[in-house]
Amino acid sequence: MSPPSEPPSRASRPSPDQAAPFEASISLPPPPPQPHSAAEQMGGRLHPAALVMWPLERALPLLALAIFGVLSWIIIGVFLIFSGAASTLRYLRFSWRIEGGALVIDQGVLNRQRRVIPFDRIQSVELVRKLRHRALGVVEARVETVGGDSTEGRLEALGVEQARALRSVLLRERDLRHGVSAAAGQPEPPAPVLASMSPGRLLIAGMTGGRVGVAAVLVGIAEQVFGQRLLTALERLPGVLGVRGIILAALAILVVVFLLSVVATTVAYWDFTVTRERDALRIRRGLLQQRSDTLPLRRVQAVRVEQNLIRRAFGLAAVRADVAGRAGGNDEGGTTVLLPLAPWTEAVTLAQAVLDREGLAGAPLAPMPLRARRRRLVRAVAFVAVAAAAVGFSLGWTEAALAGVALSIPAIGGALESYRALGHCEVDGVMVARAGLLVRRTTFVPVERVQTLALARSPFQRLAGLATLELQIARSLGGADPTLIDIDAALGGSLLESLAQRVAPPRRQPSPAGSG
Amino acid sequence: MVTATDPAPTLESGLLPLDPRVRLLWWVEAALAAMLFTAVAGVVDAFAPLPVPRGALTLMVAAVGAALAGAVPAIRYSRWRYALREQDLWLRRGVAWVTISVIPYRRLQFVDTRQGPLERLFGLSQLVVHTAALGTSGHLPGLDTATAENLRERLAEVEPDVAAV
């Protein structure tokens, strides 16, 4: 029941004596010219609400057991008393302050720990309001540093105003240390809103989103769990329900899936707002758990505008960013959602704003050579032929002919559509690549964000004089590198060369050794 | 000090093949793998009731294994080229799928040399370069150990420009 003591990280420095001066042992850059007296005065304990929040957090699982009669209420009472005492000790031992150019957190009942997070190590400051925080009117502040996979500085309960003030102080001080030209002293202009989601749009996002795929997963799980019994039950269904019953059941499942998708989307993206604050994006979202993430623009490696089949039919798209390092809790497949749904032009305008470039909206994409279309058609015909042959050997040749005709329509349609999706161009120093049949993905990657390049050719691509150019970026796991699929081999080769010259151009002036 | 901008007279120009000893190394490795598969096939032949004459499976696996073990290392070796260009490392590799990679020196985060037990026997080392790109480190096998060490030292001196990571 002792409070969890986090293992010391690089930024921490356990100190047995709280009064010992520690600034001397830390090499800090000279303090900023103007005194931030307000900043130096910040600090104190957590919000007293922690005294209520911690014991309840611990007792909640037990409470459920008591309600179902597994545990007696006396045990719960004793537990609550102990937990309350432990929480009080923990509360009394916990303090934080801003001192000597760093956020300092002292904590620990038995193992005392002092963690010092210098401003210039801070990567992001996140304010999280889970349900329990909202019930008690407090906010949790999470301070992340570069590297490391856990939250380095965690203030579990702060007053709302205090938390906001802390965040703005930490971010401003960090920017000062990084030499970012912060408009110090001036009142901050209201942050421009780059994108937001209305409730109506959320509804559409839920109805057209990839979360419909959840249904397929559920069916898959059911099949795993029930196995053969499910299949037998499905075979018997026509007899039990009749044709009308099956149609009704399918409709009911569809409605439930849509509802689930709408609810999930609404809960996750309620009040979704993206604002720009100097060199970062602030992404706010969430119904039950309100999140506010800060994404420094320099960490954005590429922006993707994605359309699935349904959304494409309505001219809608979602926007995601590939982010280096941790994606700030807003992860979805290694990317950060910048906008769950918007009309196409609005989506591209957001991409433009995030990358700070012009002319992406109307960029004319060059198609890939017609040999790429031929490749896809050949592949489709080969697939249909193999499938028809399989049917022919197992059922009969009349069935094979029918299957061939039935399959060739979607196969050839898919091949043509998949070719039509391909396109590429360069606008204002941004490589644009488009591909994808089921999800059409237009990727925007600034040339200087490309890390390494690769030109790959399969045997069939070599026959057709085609190649695939990969623009490899510093992305997170789960994302994908921007790729120019089936580009003309000669063009791909010359792009490889010209881009390689530009991704990391030599510096004009030799910089002094040891810098950077 | 070598920088990316130097014309760097010491940097070789043109496409270089790997050290020929690596072909021998690959042949040895492939032969070992082929023998392993043949042995497994032999066990299956001896104990499993197959609808083919006894020993046919073993013979087939041995034949295919020998053909692959002979051909693939040779093709792979003849395809491999690398070049230390003015600003980047250029690699071409692949048997069926052919890939050309370009790794700008200024994107390098760190450079390793590696050596397995067989490689030590042949006096060879691998050079592995790491960038911020995910899972796409450049991999240059079959260098003379001294060459690899020398390369690592020189590449480590290039001033990095790892922006925004």
pTM of the model: 0.69
Residue A453 backbone phi and psi in degrees, to 5: -125, 150
Q: In Å, what is the CA distance from B91 to each residue of A258, A419, B122?
A: 49, 30, 22
How big is chain B, counted in residues? 165
Task: Write the CB contacts of A40 (distance below 8 Å, at least 6 apart in sequence).
Answer: A98, A99
Nearest CA distance, A274 vs chain B (angstrom): 21
Tokens of A53: 């929040």
Closest by CA position to A210, among listed A340, A349, A346: A340
Q: Do A452 and B101 touch (CB under 8 A)?
A: yes
C-beta neighbour count of A92 within 10 angstroms: 11
Chain A residues touching B160 at Cβ < 8 A? 516
Inter-chain contact B101–A457, Cβ cutoff 8 Å?
no
Average pLDDT over residues B122-137: 79
Determine the Cα–Cα distance for residues A221 and A131; give it in Å rounded to an integer: 30
Q: What is the pLDDT along chain A (516 residues), one digit of tens a residue?
A: 344 444 444 444 443 333 333 333 334 444 444 444 455 568 889 999 998 888 888 887 777 777 777 777 788 888 888 889 999 999 998 999 888 788 888 888 777 777 878 787 777 788 888 888 888 889 999 887 654 445 778 899 999 888 989 988 888 888 787 665 444 444 455 678 888 888 888 888 887 876 555 555 555 555 555 555 666 666 666 666 677 777 887 788 778 777 877 888 888 888 899 998 878 888 888 887 778 888 888 888 899 999 988 888 889 999 999 887 654 444 445 678 889 899 999 999 999 999 988 888 888 899 999 999 999 999 999 999 999 999 888 888 888 888 889 899 999 999 999 999 999 999 989 999 999 988 899 999 999 999 899 999 999 999 999 999 999 988 766 667 899 999 999 999 999 999 988 887 765 544 443 333
The verdict on B164 touching A (C-beta cutoff 8 Å) is: yes
SS3 assignment, position B11 = coil
Asked if the C-beta of B4 comes within 8 angstroms of chain A's C-beta atoms, the answer is yes
Q: What are phi and psi of B27, to 5 degrees?
A: -65, -45
Q: Which of B3, B99, B133 is facing A451, going by the closest CB pair?
A: B133
Helix axes of A228-269 and A213-226: crossing angle, nearest 10 degrees: 150
Alpha-carbon distance values, B129 to A452, A480, B5, B101, B109 (Å) = 11, 21, 19, 12, 8
B92 touching chain A per CB within 8 A = no
Whose CA is closest to A422, among A483, A361, A485, A370? A485
Which of B101, B104, B164 is closest, CB to CB, to A454? B101
**Residue in A325, A452, A511 closest to B136 by CB:** A452
Q: Which of B102, B111, B130, B155 to mutate to test the interface with A (most CBs of A within 10 A)?
A: B102
**Nearest CA-CA distance, residue B135 and chain A, Å:** 9
End-to-end CA distance of chain A: 46
Using CA atoms, how far apart are residues A422 and A373, in angstroms rounded to an integer?
A: 10
Q: At what angle do helices B56-79 and B21-47 cross, to 10 degrees?
A: 160
Contact A503 B107 (CB under 8 A): yes
Cβ contacts of residue B112 below 8 Å, gap of 6+? B127, B128, B129, B130, B152
More confident residue, B78 or A25: B78
Mutation target to probe the A interface, by most A beta carbons within 10 A, among B100, B108, B111, B129 is B100
pLDDT of B150 higher than 50 = yes
Q: Which residues contact A277 (CB under 8 A, 6 or more apart)?
A: A188, A191, A294
pLDDT exceeds 50 at position B83: yes
A451/B99 CB distance under 8 A:
no
Say if the Cβ atoms of A454 and B99 lie within 8 Å: yes
Q: Please report, rounded to a whole number, the percentage of residues in chain B having pLDDT higher than 90.
A: 41
What the block records as the tokens of B16 is 């270089």
Say if B32 is an interface residue toward chain A (CB within 8 Å). no
Interface of A with B (CB under 8 A): 298-299, 301, 324-325, 448-449, 451-459, 462, 472-477, 479, 481, 493, 496-497, 500-501, 503-504, 506-507, 510-511, 516
Query: How far apart are alpha carbons A54 and A63 in whole angstroms?
Result: 14
ipTM: 0.83
Beta strands in A197-312 (DSSP E): 273-277, 280-285, 290-296, 300-308
Q: How far is CA B99 from CA A364, A452, A456, A482, in A?
A: 29, 13, 4, 16
Mean pLDDT rounded to a whole number for chain B: 82
List CB contacts (< 8 A) between B134 and chain A.
472-477, 479, 481
Can you tell me the distance from the alpha carbon of A259 to that of A241, in angstroms, rounded to the nearest whole number? Answer: 24
| Interface with B, mutate which of A335, A355, A472, A483 (most B CBs under 10 A) | A472
- Report helix, strand or coil for A270: coil
CB contact under 8 Å between A454 and B136, yes or no, is yes
Contacts of B75 in chain A (CB under 8 A): none
Are A425 and A365 in contact, with CB atoms under 8 Å apart? yes
**Nearest Cβ partner for B100 among A451, A455, A506:** A455
Q: Is B107 on the interface with A (CB under 8 A)?
A: yes
Q: What is the pLDDT of residue A194?
A: 85
Q: Which of A459-468, B42-51, B120-129 has the lowest mean pLDDT?
A: B42-51
Chain B residues in contact with A324 by the CB 8 A cut-off are: 132, 164-165
Nearest alpha-carbon partner for B102 in B138, B128, B76, B154: B138
d(CA A371, CA A377): 10
Q: How far is Cα A379 from Cα A276, in angstroms, rounded to an integer?
A: 46
Please list, residue by residue across A297-316, b when 16 or more beta carbons sit within 10 angstroms of its beta carbon and e when fewer do.
bebbbbbbbbbbeebbeeeb
The whole-number pLDDT of residue A200 equals 87
Strand partners, A7: none
Q: What is the pLDDT of residue A24?
A: 35
CA–CA separation, A198 and A195 (whole Å): 10
Residues of chain A positioned with their CB less than 8 A from the CB of B131: 451-452, 472, 474
Alpha-carbon distance A398 to nearest alpha carbon in chain B (angstroms): 33
CB contact under 8 A, A451 and B131: yes
